[in-house]
Amino acid sequence: MGRLEEFTVRPDPADARLVERVTGTDHTAAAIVTSVPVERPLTLFLNRQEVVTMMTIGDYPECLAVGYLANQNMLRADDAITAIDYDDDVETVVVRTERRTDYESKLRKKTLTSGCAQGTVFGDMMERFETVRLDTAAVVQTSWIYALSRKINSQPSIYLEAGAIHGCVLCEADRPLLYMEDVGRHNAVDKIAGYMRLNGVEPEGKIFYTTGRLTSEMVIKCVSMGIPILISRSGFTAWGVALARQAGLTLIGRAKGRRFITASGPERIIYDADPGEVAAERRAVQRKASLAEDAV
Amino acid sequence: MGRLEEFTVRPDPADARLVERVTGTDHTAAAIVTSVPVERPLTLFLNRQEVVTMMTIGDYPECLAVGYLANQNMLRADDAITAIDYDDDVETVVVRTERRTDYESKLRKKTLTSGCAQGTVFGDMMERFETVRLDTAAVVQTSWIYALSRKINSQPSIYLEAGAIHGCVLCEADRPLLYMEDVGRHNAVDKIAGYMRLNGVEPEGKIFYTTGRLTSEMVIKCVSMGIPILISRSGFTAWGVALARQAGLTLIGRAKGRRFITASGPERIIYDADPGEVAAERRAVQRKASLAEDAV
């Protein structure tokens, strides 16, 4: 497909299906009202087989379904999707394919991963991981890292409105393209994977930005999606770093204000920004900043 | 058992099995060395049945195993544990019980929850949830909330050393008793549940402190463990709040510095502290503070 516009997908904190107002009391015993993200179940079927029930904020169910199946290797690159039936009332989404599928044995093997678990992420996901060759021509300019952080953190979002949510953003150079949020970080990743698959977005030259930790699961997914550069505000696990080095992924963590650390793939980084000129993040757009409550 | 001492269990950031040193480059292209938490697989068996593979930092495998099984309702309150065999080499832990167990059908039903998923957390966990009667005599003084935050965040921890890890703490009044950390938050919760079960620690009058979000899963687990008060530095999901109200759990979120919000069960709170006297948290002990890197 053609060039995507900046924030082709962006959060919609004004959507009343995604954010609820709840009452409470604050530290002075005053009554307040505050916003919190919605969390609801969505049960995924692949053809006739129930695969999993996900706790999700509920937007982009088709992307979530397709991205989950793709990232779990249950949907092959050459699989033709014949229908995606989402039913809001019974909270189900059914993906139908030309190929007859049966993952009974796969569904019996479970691995809980560190950063918001997936049922079956290891095993054959590692097989795919080992075959991926990431784009060696891709680069990331340090000015892009600062520009992306600034644009993403100042974009109105459910995070800024209600907290308690993860965000993932597919980017190209200094342009955020697809910004998905979800109460489960794995869901935010899968929604981007699903959008890419359904819209033919190529991974080469792209940058994946996430608010979550750089664990083994996050690295495996990014590599499996074919994206050569992964940036997070959060830190690393040792296995996340080891897997990134094995795959030749550029792994940048603890990216806050002017600081960041590259733990893998530094050869893709072009130092074109003067960190001294990068202002400390404005408090107003800091992630993890206190949320506003309204007195009642 | 008798009264537990403060920090009977505490993190051990000096343990080289838990924290690794990795090299990298910083935002100025300077070479650095930094600490990151370890993440390794641990496969859990209940008698002859393989239950799940967990990604964990790897300390307290016996507590993790027993707590996981208890929180998944695979270990009944009256089950006699005859052995717990942990094998570091092959990364397995086997819990053996007098009762013959078979959870084949249960293991086929999977739900991914929002805050670091569990395989089978819903379904029969909700049945147990609905039968729990939480301690109505329990209270929490606001001075305890401030004291607990201060003590927990100034305690040396893997978080302060290496980041990218969750912490959970079982507390009583203003005393942190059991402080567990793990790369998976669900593991930190389960390790506390396992310690409580293996050492006969009662939940009545206790307070559960976590760094993670107050999602449906976290609320269900806390209620199932019989703990009447749940405090987090992070925010709420709508369903987390709804479930806390249904169960009569006191749910306190966004507890940072002098601020916090009570979204459920305010009747247990005693406002004995003057928030004006609570100093803003010192930066040195703030969670999510930047970690130190050593130049090389």
Q: Which residue has the higher pLDDT, B197 or A126?
A: B197
- Whether A54 sits inside 8 A of B112 (CB atoms) is yes
pLDDT at A82 over 60: yes
* Model confidence band, residue B290 (pLDDT cutoffs 50, 70, 90): very low
Q: How many CB pairs under 8 A join A and B?
A: 238
B residues 177..216 contacting A (CB < 8 A): 183-184, 186-187, 213-216
* Model confidence band, residue A14 (pLDDT cutoffs 50, 70, 90): very high
Percent of chain B with pLDDT over 70: 87
Strand order in the sheet with A229-232: A175-182, A166-172, A206-210, A229-232, A250-256, A259-264, B19-26, B31-37, B294-295
Give the H or E element holding residue A61.
helix A61-71
Q: CB of A122 within 8 Å of any CB in chain B?
A: yes
Q: What is the CA radius of gyration of chain A?
A: 19
Q: For residue B55, give the nearest of A53, A114, A263 by CB distance.
A: A114
Residues of B within 8 A of A239 (CB-CB) are 38-40, 55
- Whether A55 sits inside 8 A of B215 (CB atoms) is yes
pLDDT mean across residues, chain A = 89
Which tokens hold the place of B188?
Answer: 């930190």
In the prediction, which pLDDT does A286 show? 54
HEC profile of chain B: CCCCCCCCECCCCCCCCCEEEEEEEECCCCEEEEEEECCEEEEEEECCEEEEEEEECCCCHHHHHHHHHHHCCCCCCCCCEEEEEEECCCCEEEEEECCCCCCCCHHHCCEECCCCCCCCCCCHHHHHHHHCCCCCCCCEEHHHHHHHHHHHHHCCCHHHHHCCCEEEEEEECCEEEEEEEECCHHHHHHHHHHHHHHHCCCCCCEEEEECCCECHHHHHHHHHCCCCEEEECCCECHHHHHHHHHHCCEEEEEEECCEEEEEECHHHEECCCCHHHCCCCCHHHCCCCCCCCEEC
Q: CB of B254 within 8 Å of any CB in chain A?
A: yes
Residues of A within 8 A of B124 (CB-CB) are none
pLDDT at A98 over 80: yes
Mean pLDDT of B165-192: 96
CA A103 to chain centre: 25
Q: CB of B164 within 8 Å of any CB in chain A?
A: yes
pLDDT at A154 over 80: yes
Residues of A within 8 A of B269 (CB-CB) are 25, 29
Strands A166-172 and A175-182: antiparallel
- Whether B275 sits inside 8 A of A186 (CB atoms) is no
Q: CB of A293 within 8 Å of any CB in chain B?
A: yes
In the prediction, which pLDDT does B117 show? 38
Give the H or E element holding residue A69.
helix A61-71
- Residue A4 Cα distances to A1, A148, A174, A175, A252, angstroms: 8, 16, 13, 9, 24
Q: State how far the Cα of B189 lies from the Cα of B184, in Å rounded to an integer.
A: 9
pLDDT at A130 over 90: no
pLDDT at A28 over 70: yes
- Whether A112 sits inside 8 A of B55 (CB atoms) is yes
Q: For residue B39, give the nearest of A216, A264, A291 by CB distance.
A: A216
Sign of the torsion angle spanned by Cα atoms A280, B288, A237, A183: negative
In the prediction, which pLDDT does B153 show? 93
In the prediction, which pLDDT does B96 show? 98
Q: For residue A36, give the nearest of B22, B238, B269 by CB distance.
A: B238
Task: Give B201→chain A minimum CA distance, Å.
Answer: 27
* Model confidence band, residue B286 (pLDDT cutoffs 50, 70, 90): low
Mean pLDDT of B204-224: 94
Q: CB of B93 within 8 Å of any CB in chain A?
A: no
In the prediction, which pLDDT does A244 show? 98
Q: CB of A114 within 8 Å of any CB in chain B?
A: yes
At B296, the amino acid letter reads V
- Residue B48 Cα distances to B44, B108, B188, angstroms: 10, 17, 25
Q: For residue A164, give the nearest of B235, B260, B264 by CB distance.
A: B235
pLDDT at A281 over 80: no
- Whether A183 sits inside 8 A of B215 (CB atoms) is yes
In the prediction, which pLDDT does A133 show? 92
Task: Give A234→chain B minimum CA distance, Å.
Answer: 7
Which tokens hold the place of A92?
Answer: 């189900």
pLDDT at B184 over 90: no
In the prediction, which pLDDT does B120 show? 42
Percent of chain A with pLDDT over 90: 76
pLDDT mean across residues, chain B = 89
* Model confidence band, residue B1 (pLDDT cutoffs 50, 70, 90): low
- Whether B164 sits inside 8 A of A214 (CB atoms) is yes
Q: CB of B52 within 8 Å of any CB in chain A?
A: yes
In the prediction, which pLDDT does B72 show? 86
Residues of A within 8 A of B216 (CB-CB) are 39, 55
In the prediction, which pLDDT does B200 show? 96
In the prediction, which pLDDT does A102 show? 82
In the prediction, which pLDDT does B291 show? 56
pTM comes to 0.91
pLDDT at B112 over 80: no
pLDDT at B149 over 80: yes
Mean pLDDT of B156-173: 95
- Residue B221 Cα distances to A256, B49, B71, B215, B216, angstroms: 33, 23, 7, 10, 9
Percent of chain A with pLDDT over 70: 87
pLDDT at A119 over 70: no
- Whether A39 sits inside 8 A of B238 (CB atoms) is yes
Whether the Cβ atoms of residue A53 and residue B122 lie closer than 8 Å to each other: yes
- Whether B184 sits inside 8 A of A117 (CB atoms) is yes
Q: CB of B148 within 8 Å of any CB in chain A?
A: no
Mean pLDDT of A22-32: 96
Residues of A within 8 A of B183 (CB-CB) are 114-115, 213, 215, 237
* Model confidence band, residue B53 (pLDDT cutoffs 50, 70, 90): confident
pLDDT at B99 over 90: yes
Q: CB of A263 within 8 Å of any CB in chain B?
A: yes
Task: Give B45→chain A minimum CA distance, Å.
Answer: 12
Q: CB of B111 within 8 Å of any CB in chain A?
A: yes
Residues A182-207 have pLDDT tens digits of 998 899 999 999 999 999 999 999 99
In the prediction, which pLDDT does B119 show? 40
Which tokens hold the place of A156?
Answer: 């109105």
In the prediction, which pLDDT does A110 show? 59
Whether the Cβ atoms of residue B145 and residue B258 lie closer than 8 Å to each other: no
Residues B216-259 have pLDDT tens digits of 989 999 999 999 999 999 999 999 999 999 999 999 999 999 99
Coil, strand or helix at A244: helix
Q: State how far the Cα of A238 lies from the Cα of B105, in Å rounded to an integer.
A: 35
- Residue A145 Cα distances to A52, A255, A270, B165, B259, angstroms: 35, 8, 11, 24, 32
